[in-house]
Structure 1
Amino acid sequence: MSLVLQFPAATPQQSLDYLQTKLAYYTDAWDLAEDLARQTPEIVVIDARAPEAYRAGHICGAINFPHRGMDATTTARLDRSKVYVTYCDGIGCNGSTKAAWKLASLGFQVKELIGGLDFWKRDGHPLIWGDSAGEWPAAAPLASCGC
């Protein structure tokens, strides 16, 4: 018997439902880079790591908001009409998940960046260093990931 088919494949409708739900929770570096380059106003990127990690290199335009400090008081300044994309170091870190959970529990719309800063850097997207969020560099090339 096939090991792949040991558990039957989902129906097409089950697959559609699951995959649509999955895409509601996550974005990837290429899609986020496209939105940042286009200055999509509905998206806010949150670096959920400690300030020291943020200063050592972060996504252009990301604000530093460590997940450990998120609560009703500290998030009061956030715009509830935006979608917040959270990230941390990468797949070995759950800071982005904790940040997304806290924001969602407070009524914000959220997505996580797949692979965090690790995948962002691997794909060659621009970084900025220091305390400033910075801006997307005008000369930054946008390439297709081939997807």
Structure 2
Amino acid sequence: MTTAVTIVKPAPSHLAVEHFAAEFSFETDCWDVHDSLSKGADFVLLDVRGPALYAKGHIPGAISLPHGKMTASKMAAWPQNTIFVTYCAGPHCNGAAKGALRLAQLGRPVKIMAGGITGWLDEGFELAVL
């Protein structure tokens, strides 16, 4: 019997390895960000939502920098090789991808934190409030 899942066959294993390994160069998850922040992060965490949402609740240690405000002059505050991790509201929001795209266009290394605020809270982690 063929179902909607199996009608298209899975990729050969060697292609699956390449695909899934590449995903980790583009994104991280809430657990790894939380763990890294607790140990002294080697990246800058950027909340790319607007200032009002940031004030209502953000990941501790995150810097508010809405994706629409990312410019070369603002990013000059960090060395060129600084790794950035962007996040937004959650899986229903594409702000993290917009911010990551903007940073990549500026030549900056960047990853997205999958899940955003929604994922952070689902993991049981706390938010900071201004």
Whether TM exceeds 0.5 here: the answer is yes
Map Cα deviations across residues 82-112 of structure 1 (whole Å, 9 max, x no partner): 2111001111111111100000110111111
TM-score normalised by L of structure 1: 0.83
Distance 2:121 2:15 in 1: 34
Q: Distance in 1 between matches of 2:51 and 2:10?
A: 45
Output the CA distance in 2 between the equivalents of 1:79 and 1:72. 12
Report the residue type matching 2:40 in the other structure.
Q
How many angstroms apart in 1 are the aligned matches of 2:74 and 2:81?
17
Q: Which residue of 1 aligns with 2:128?
A: 128
**Equivalence for 2:32:** 31
TM-score normalised by the chain length of structure 2:
0.93
Separation in structure 2 between the aligned mates of residue 69 and residue 107 of structure 1, nearest angstrom: 16
**Distance (Å, rounded) in 2 between the aligned partners of 1:108 and 1:86:** 12
Give the secondary-structure state (helix, strand or coil) at the position aligned to 1:111.
Answer: strand
Which consecutive residues of structure 1, in runs of 5 or more, have no partner in the other structure?
131-147
In the TM superposition, structure 1's runs of 4+ consecutive aligned residues that sit over 3 Å from their partners are none
Q: Give the alignment's Cα RMSD to 1 decimal.
A: 1.2
Aligned match of 2:23: 22
The residue type paired with residue 75 of structure 1 is: M
Secondary structure of the 1:34 match is helix
Counterpart Cα distance in 2 of 1:33 and 1:121: 11
Q: Give the Cα separation in 1 of the matches to 2:125 and 2:96.
A: 19
| Matched residue, 1:102 | 102
Give me the whole-angstrom Cα distance separating, in 1, the residues matched to 2:128 and 2:122. 15
The count of aligned residue pairs is: 129
* In structure 2, C-alpha distance between the alignment counterparts of 1:69 and 1:99, rounded to whole Å: 9
> Gapped runs of 5+ residues in structure 2?
none
- Please say which of residues 27-36 and 78-87 is displaced more in the overlay: 78-87
- Select the structure that is richer in helix: 2
Deviation at 1:80, TM superposition (A): 2.1
